[in-house]
Amino acid sequence: MESEVVIHVIADSTGDTGARVARAVQAQFPGLDEVVVMRHPRISDVDALDIALDAVRQDDRPTVVFLTMVDLGLRAHTQQQCAAMGVPCADLMAPALDAVIGRTGVQPARLVQPVGLAADYFERIHAMEFAVANDDGNLTDSLAEAQVVLVGASRTGKTPLSMYLGYLGYPTANVPLVTGVAPPQELFDCDPWKIVGLTIDPERLLEIRRRRVDIMGATAAGGERLGGYADLAQIFDELDAITAVQRRLRCPVLDTTQLALEEAAGRVIELVETRKRAYGAMR
């Protein structure tokens, strides 16, 4: 039984799609000692493709190919060469395209996704800048400009999730909820569909906070003394109080304890877009 595998991602653009699928696949094979991802991006002609295939051919490790190309000729050439080498080839684009063709009868444009200044480039830059400017309750901009507003206790993952949502093109603000401190009125004035609450298992939160305390020394975030910041009993009370505020805001609450960042972002987007459609339908 092999203990490692090399995934060669052959792509007509950056190879991000194939690399993400490779990482998802890797998580399903904990028994493998190593999964190596090799990208061969921006393949636009047969000459460049043959160079990539030569690299596959010369790789003496257990190898598979993930193919993300829309050009029919280049796809066919890759599949033929992989078959001749005895290398398994997973075409990641064809099933998705065929499914849409089968349902709609419409043929795809087969255009390579442009690299560099894509159509949404400046929107994503703005969204990332917005997330930075409106992090941790520092509401530089009006919440009316946000597409997502995250609310929750300290260390529930609001900041990294905000930044990742910004990277995906969603201007996101995050507001910490603190026991004994009234939440800002802006939360109650903004559209309720854009607010998503975050929570986490109390023991996991305790672990995270203790690690932060160890890093920062004797003070908690913002220079406050430890107090109940890393005390389990007070964390339970804190989360109960914050849950009550989240109910007042009428927002769904997402438990981030076991969620990877990408999965949490996907769920937030789904919640916000579903609630936005429902909100629009009621108006």
pLDDT digits (tens, 9 = 90+) for 36-59: 889 898 899 999 999 999 999 999
Q: Is residue 109 part of a domain?
A: no
Q: Is the pLDDT of residue 107 over 70?
A: yes
> Rounded CA gap, 156 and 154, in Å?
6
Range of the domain at 204: 121-282
Average pLDDT over residues 67-88: 95
Residue 21 CA from chain centroid, whole number:
13
On average, the pLDDT of the chain sits at 87
| Pair 197, 241 in one domain | yes
Domain stops at, among 40, 70, 104: 104
pLDDT for the residue numbered 120? 66
Q: Is the pLDDT of residue 227 over 60?
A: no
In the sheet with 253-255, reading across from the earlier edge strand, the strands are 172-176, 148-152, 195-199, 253-255
The label of the residue with tokens 């993300």 reads: 68
Tally of domains within the chain: 2
| Pair 259, 144 in one domain | yes
Q: Is residue 215 part of a domain?
A: yes
> Rounded CA gap, 140 and 161, in Å?
18
pLDDT for the residue numbered 228? 63
Q: Is the pLDDT of residue 204 over 60?
A: yes
Q: For 112-159, how does the pLDDT look when each residue is reduced to its tens digit (9 = 90+)?
A: 765 455 556 778 889 999 999 999 888 888 899 999 999 999 888 999
| Pair 66, 132 in one domain | no
Rg (CA), the chain: 24
Domain stops at, among 53, 69, 104: 104
| Pair 22, 58 in one domain | yes
Q: Is the pLDDT of residue 20 over 90?
A: no
pLDDT for the residue numbered 282? 61
What whole-number percentage of the chain has pLDDT above 90?
A: 56
Return left, alpha or beta for 199; rule: phi > 0 is left, psi -120 to 50 is alpha, else beta.
beta
Highest mean pLDDT among 55-64, 108-117, 205-214: 55-64
Q: Is residue 111 part of a domain?
A: no
- State pTM to two decimals: 0.62
Predicted confidence band at 217 (pLDDT cuts at 50, 70, 90)? low
Q: Is residue 27 part of a domain?
A: yes
- Integer CA distances (angstroms), 212 to 50, 111, 219, 256, 260, in order: 50, 47, 9, 18, 20
| Pair 87, 204 in one domain | no
> Rounded CA gap, 144 and 147, in Å?
8
pLDDT for the residue numbered 79? 96
Lowest mean pLDDT of 160-174, 198-212, 214-228, name the range.
214-228
| Pair 190, 94 in one domain | no
| Pair 28, 82 in one domain | yes
What whole-number percentage of the chain has pLDDT above 70?
A: 91
Sorted by sequence, the CB contacts under 8 Å of residue 277 that are 6+ apart come out as none
Predicted confidence band at 110 (pLDDT cuts at 50, 70, 90)? confident
Reduce the DSSP state of residue 89 to 3 states and report it: strand
CATH number at residue 21: 3.40.50.2300
| Pair 82, 152 in one domain | no
Q: Is residue 253 part of a domain?
A: yes
Q: Which one is predicted more confidently, 193 or 229?
A: 193
| Pair 148, 235 in one domain | yes
Q: Is residue 236 part of a domain?
A: yes
Predicted confidence band at 255 (pLDDT cuts at 50, 70, 90)? very high
| Pair 96, 216 in one domain | no
The length of the chain, given as a count of residues? 283
Domain stops at, among 59, 79, 104: 104
Q: Is residue 113 part of a domain?
A: no
| Pair 193, 149 in one domain | yes
| Pair 128, 250 in one domain | yes
- Closest alpha carbon to 202 in 235, 172, 179, 225: 235
CATH number at residue 168: 3.40.50
